[in-house]
């Protein structure tokens, strides 16, 4: 046996290892897909006085109605508003935000984590040249590539909304971030967060809808207030035209988007999508999921700023029920308008008691929080008065 035989043995061992790794990857993907479980990570809770952030990983089995908590030696730090997407038995998580309990300190993340669906263990992927810190962005996987778009960055002194696109080829031997080059003539969604997008499995394209942007206009006219300067050939930034349009439309109250775009998988370029039929009203933070070549939208929030600057949560049920009516009746166009409205109204009445109950619970919770805040304020005032008397 000579060097040639030893070389063949080395190649054989490498091929065997590669096949084994591929089998393990397929097994993990099959296990994650077959489980049919929902996965929840992190989040935040505000009790009326303090904010808590979480870093726990839960799964929920709808068939059994059982929650399960998983622990891992390493895991992402506590956060909310992170974005995630799954691919071949792994869940990829990027970004998010964290605040101190009092809200005095605020932090955005730019780390990328991967959860193994077979072992339910987290691993941080140390990569350079990726997206900047942000939250309110979205992740998706198309044709084996992890896509990151949009989001915002807030330092409590400065707020920036973004419209940059980053790509990570998950099938490459070496994971490396890239960002498509854009020019001022390219169609690019304006800076935004709180939007949603879905992947069309037929061709791998990604359809984006809605979102929200609230950012002060640039100090100098013509400068993009998104990540990147919007110059010709700039990487990671949106077009200057989109940024200037956002600047002109900005009125200090923020803008809720109603536009739609499609990202082509072959060259990663954007194109506008024409809306027809009964399009949803302006909203952000809604749910959007693919179902039988359809994108089903539900819920959302509309930011109506008045004297109290509170968020007004609006019931967004009609488009959802119309979508279900279309699926149940198998009709469209005029036939859908004639028959589906009655069908949708019946379905809506079935859930109306739940909505009324939810509204009552929300009002009770707000009243309880206000009462607790009043007690805390009174105790603080009493303590201050007692301290002042002790100094006399």
Average pLDDT over residues 97-102: 87
The reported pLDDT for the residue numbered 210 is 92
The reported pLDDT for the residue numbered 172 is 95
pLDDT per position as a tens digit, 240-295: 555 555 555 555 668 888 899 999 999 999 999 987 788 888 888 899 888 877 88
The reported pLDDT for the residue numbered 48 is 84
pLDDT per position as a tens digit, 154-201: 877 788 999 999 999 999 999 999 999 988 899 999 999 999 999 998
Separation of alpha carbons 160 and 158, rounded Å? 7
Domain ranges for the chain, please list them. Answer: 22-390
Closest CA to 87 of 165, 144, 147, 154: 144
The reported pLDDT for the residue numbered 336 is 52
pLDDT per position as a tens digit, 188-228: 999 999 999 999 988 999 999 999 998 654 444 333 334 33
Average pLDDT over residues 104-112: 90
Output the CA angle 11-14-17, nearest 5 degrees: 150
pTM given for the model: 0.65
Point out the least confidently predicted range of 64-78, 135-149, 214-228, 331-345: 214-228
Q: What is the mean pLDDT of the chain?
A: 77
Closest CA to 235 of 180, 186, 187, 189: 180
Average pLDDT over residues 123-144: 96
Can you tell me whether residue 282 is helix, strand or coil?
Answer: coil
Element (H, E) at 4: helix 3-35
Examine the pLDDT at 94 and tell me if it is beyond 80.
yes
The reported pLDDT for the residue numbered 312 is 29
Of the pLDDT bands very low, low, confident and very high (cuts 50, 70, 90), residue 35 is low
The reported pLDDT for the residue numbered 135 is 96
Report how far apart, in Å, the C-alpha atoms of 319 and of each of 1, 279, 296, 316, 348 are.
73, 8, 9, 7, 11
Contact 79, 136 (CB under 8 A): no
Among the ranges 187-196, 224-233, 304-313, 360-369, which has the highest mean pLDDT value? 187-196
Which is higher by pLDDT, 385 or 167? 167
Average pLDDT over residues 93-102: 91
Which CATH class for the 22-390 domain?
A: mainly beta
pLDDT per position as a tens digit, 38-84: 899 999 998 888 899 999 999 999 888 999 999 888 999 999 999 99
Separation of alpha carbons 14 and 9, rounded Å? 9
């Amino acid at each position: 046996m000579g060097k040639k035989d030893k070389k063949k043995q080395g190649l054989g061992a490498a091929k065997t290892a590669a096949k084994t790794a591929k089998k393990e990857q397929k097994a993990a993907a099959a296990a994650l897909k077959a489980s049919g479980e929902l996965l929840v990570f992190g989040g935040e809770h505000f009790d009326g006085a303090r904010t808590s952030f979480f870093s726990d990983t839960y799964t929920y089995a709808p068939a059994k109605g059982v929650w399960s908590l998983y622990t891992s030696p390493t895991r992402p730090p506590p956060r909310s508003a992170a974005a995630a997407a799954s691919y071949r038995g792994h869940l990829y998580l990027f970004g998010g935000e964290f605040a101190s309990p009092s809200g005095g300190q605020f932090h955005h993340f730019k780390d990328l984590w991967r959860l193994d669906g077979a072992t339910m263990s987290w691993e941080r992927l140390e990569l350079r040249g990726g997206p900047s810190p942000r939250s309110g962005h979205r992740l998706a996987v198309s044709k084996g590539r992890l896509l990151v778009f949009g989001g915002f960055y807030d330092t409590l002194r400065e707020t920036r909304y973004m419209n940059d696109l980053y790509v990570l080829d998950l099938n490459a031997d070496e994971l490396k971030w890239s960002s498509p080059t854009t020019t001022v003539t390219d169609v690019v969604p304006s800076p935004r967060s709180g939007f949603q997008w879905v992947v069309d499995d037929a061709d791998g394209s990604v359809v984006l809808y809605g979102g929200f942007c609230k950012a002060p206009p640039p100090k100098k006219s013509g400068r993009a207030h998104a990540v990147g300067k919007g110059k010709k050939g700039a990487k990671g930034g949106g077009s200057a035209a989109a940024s200037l349009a956002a600047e002109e439309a900005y009125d200090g109250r923020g803008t809720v988007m109603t536009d739609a775009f499609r990202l082509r998988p072959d060259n990663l370029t954007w194109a506008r999508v024409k809306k027809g039929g009964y399009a949803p009203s302006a909203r952000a933070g809604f749910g959007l999921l693919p179902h039988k070549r359809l994108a089903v939208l539900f819920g959302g929030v509309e930011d109506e700023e008045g004297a109290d600057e509170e968020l007004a949560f609006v019931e967004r049920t009609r488009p959802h029920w119309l979508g279900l009516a279309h699926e149940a009746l198998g009709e469209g166009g005029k036939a859908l308008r004639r028959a589906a409205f009655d069908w949708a109204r019946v379905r809506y009445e079935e859930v109306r008691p739940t909505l009324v109950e939810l509204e009552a619970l929300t009002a009770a919770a707000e009243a309880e929080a206000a009462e607790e805040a009043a007690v805390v304020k009174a105790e603080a005032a009493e303590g201050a008065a007692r301290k002042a008397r002790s100094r006399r």
